[in-house]
Amino acid sequence: MAAYAGAPAPEVDGARDGEPRTGAGPRVQDGIAVIFDEASGYYRHLRWEKNPIVLLEKAQTHQVLVEELGSGPVASALEIGCGPGTWTPLLADRAARVVALDLSPKMLEQARGAVAAEHVSFLQGDAAHFDPGTTFDLVMSVRVLEYVPEWREIIARLERLVAPGGRAVVITKTPVSVWRGTGRSRWFGPRNLVRRLLRRDMDPGFWQRHLPVHELTRAFAEAGMVNIRVRPVILGLPLYVRGTKQYPIIPAFAERPALAATQAAWRWVARRGRRGRLASLIFAESYAVSGRRAAAPDHVAPRAAVS
Ligand SMILES: C[S@@+](CC[C@H](N)C(=O)[O-])C[C@H]1O[C@@H](n2cnc3c(N)ncnc32)[C@H](O)[C@@H]1O
């Protein structure tokens, strides 16, 4: 693993960079690491590149990240859950020093192949226990928190991770939206359907929760973040059943006009004010919360802080 530039090599969950974690016992993160190790070979293609629909979703996500990260150069940036390095170049272009953290060694292998830049260090570790003892001007996390039971601890730690005046941007899946239930394996398999209806816990080696907007924004505010902003990321109507196998919900001839309508709706929503953005979350598969760490401790009540 790459050494961590600019700070002592961080202790990751009781172990040094690259060493196996010890003492914690079997936990959700061990199962999640296995799942994403397995997905590492196909995740990027399937999720972001396979067809015009996911390419549009990638463009939407890219645009949101560019706008929320801001354009100026910064000294340092951290990515939590970099996966195969899909978004790491956005930080590498802006920051003189980048740390990209992920639980899955195989995802990190992919990321290293995708982002060959000397100022980017890749670290294997659990974000829930990541405490590097230094701050970053930008902290970004895309589609990760929904797999971390300790997500609140990660957001609370922004207080120590984000430098005064720095920014944090988190993208996660929308809990209440027309997109829920479009994951084939989660809803359409009879076992999963029964388990969900009976509210049985998923596999103990897996955890997923679609985080409510008000909980995430409140956590941002409690971590001392200000100018908190919520906006939809992937927006439109679900045209495919999601998951590792994708089935079109609409016929092929309707795909192009549906994509054009989706893009037009996305642009329209981007021009709306706070209320419009919040209302549009019902059509959003994912949403972003961003905020700035105040230079001085000026904690604001969570509701008042959200714009
Ligand atoms: C759905 S993928 C998203 C990857 C990438 N951000 C993207 O958008 O393409 C989620 C990633 O989060 C990582 N992850 C999940 N839980 C984590 C944790 N507790 N600490 C660090 N990384 C974690 C997984 O290994 C996986 O690479």
pLDDT in tens, 93-114: 999 999 999 999 999 999 999 9
pLDDT digits (tens, 9 = 90+) for 168-206: 999 999 998 888 776 654 444 555 556 655 555 556 677
Ligand 1 centroid to Cα of residue 164, in Å, is: 26
Whether ligand 1 lies within 6 angstroms of the CB of 232 is answered as no
Mean pLDDT on 140-169: 96
Q: Whats the size of the chain, residue-wise?
A: 307
Whether ligand 1 lies within 6 angstroms of the CB of 81 is answered as yes
- Please report the domains of the chain, with CATH numbers, ordered by start residue: 11-200+210-305 (3.40.50.150)
**Ligand 1 atom closest to the CA of 101, numbered from 1:** 21
Mean pLDDT on 301-305: 46
Ligand 1 centroid to Cα of residue 103, in Å, is: 7
Give the pLDDT confidence score for residue 192 in this predicted structure.
58
| Atom 1 of ligand 1, residue of closest alpha carbon | 143
Whether ligand 1 lies within 6 angstroms of the CB of 85 is answered as no
Burial string for 42-78 (b: 16+ CB within 10 Å, else e) reads: ebbebbbeeeebbebbbebbeebbeebbeeeebebbb
**Ligand 1 atom closest to the CA of 83, numbered from 1:** 27
Ligand 1 centroid to Cα of residue 173, in Å, is: 13
pLDDT tier, 241 (very low <50, low <70, confident <90, very high otherwise): low
Does the structure show a pLDDT above 80 at 21? no
The residue with greater pLDDT, 247 or 23, is 247
Ligand 1 centroid to Cα of residue 47, in Å, is: 13
Ligand 1 centroid to Cα of residue 83, in Å, is: 5
Does the structure show a pLDDT above 80 at 233? yes
Mean pLDDT on 147-153: 95
Mean pLDDT on 24-35: 77
**Ligand 1 atom closest to the CA of 142, numbered from 1:** 6
Give the pLDDT confidence score for residue 304 in this predicted structure.
40
pLDDT tier, 10 (very low <50, low <70, confident <90, very high otherwise): very low
Residues 66, 89: Cα–Cα separation, whole Å: 11
| Atom 2 of ligand 1, residue of closest alpha carbon | 83
pLDDT tier, 15 (very low <50, low <70, confident <90, very high otherwise): very low
Mean pLDDT on 30-52: 91
Across all residues in the chain, what is the average pLDDT? 82
Whether ligand 1 lies within 6 angstroms of the CB of 102 is answered as yes
pLDDT tier, 236 (very low <50, low <70, confident <90, very high otherwise): confident
The residue with greater pLDDT, 75 or 198, is 75
